[in-house]
Amino acid sequence: MSTARKSIRGAARVGTPRRAARARNRMKLSTTVAAENFAFLETMVNTGRTGSIAEAVDLAIARLRRVENRARLEAATAEYFDGITAEARAEEQALAGQLYLSGGSVDFDLEP
């Protein structure tokens, strides 16, 4: 067994109380992935960014979902602004300027 595989198995046993609580929310997934994707997931575990391959998959999917959600929001916003009057657009721009000034320090992604 490779050293990387041993370290991943060891990492999977860390944090059992937290792991037990999460286990109730989890579904079993068995799949095959490209070698470079598995290597990426292993790196996430071996560098301590995640505690297991399952957590690495969850993190990668969460990031993809965030990107897709932002793309949907961007499309919906563009559609909205394409359909409003010039007066409504001016009002929106004034509101956007005020929001920008008041929300400059807010981290909308809740990232460290």
Q: Residue 39 and residue 56: Cα distance in Å, rounded?
A: 11
CB-CB contact of 54 with 26 (8 Å): yes
Domain presence at residue 105: no
Whether 106 is covered by a domain: the verdict is no
Q: Is the pTM of this model over 0.85?
A: no
Residue 67 lies in a domain: yes
What is the tens place of the pLDDT at every residue in 16-72? Answer: 566 666 667 889 999 999 999 999 999 999 999 999 999 999 999 999 999 999 999
Do the beta carbons of residue 84 and residue 69 sit within 8 Å? no
pLDDT of residue 17: 62
Site of tokens 């000034």:
101
Q: How many domains does the chain have?
A: 1
**Residue 53 belongs to a domain:** yes
The better pLDDT of the pair 8, 18 is held by 18
Q: At a CB cut-off of 8 Å and minimum separation 6, what does 11 contact?
A: 45, 46, 51, 52
Q: Is residue 13 part of a domain?
A: yes
Q: Is residue 80 part of a domain?
A: no
Q: What is the pLDDT of residue 21?
A: 65
pLDDT computed for residue 9 by the predictor: 47
Note whether residue 56 is domain-resident.
Answer: yes
Question: Could you tell me if residue 34 is inside a domain?
Answer: yes
Contact 60, 22 (CB under 8 A): no
> How confident is the model at residue 10, as a pLDDT?
47
User: Predicted confidence band at 12 (pLDDT cuts at 50, 70, 90)?
Assistant: very low
Q: Cα separation of 8 and 71, whole Å?
A: 34
Domain that holds residue 18: 3-74
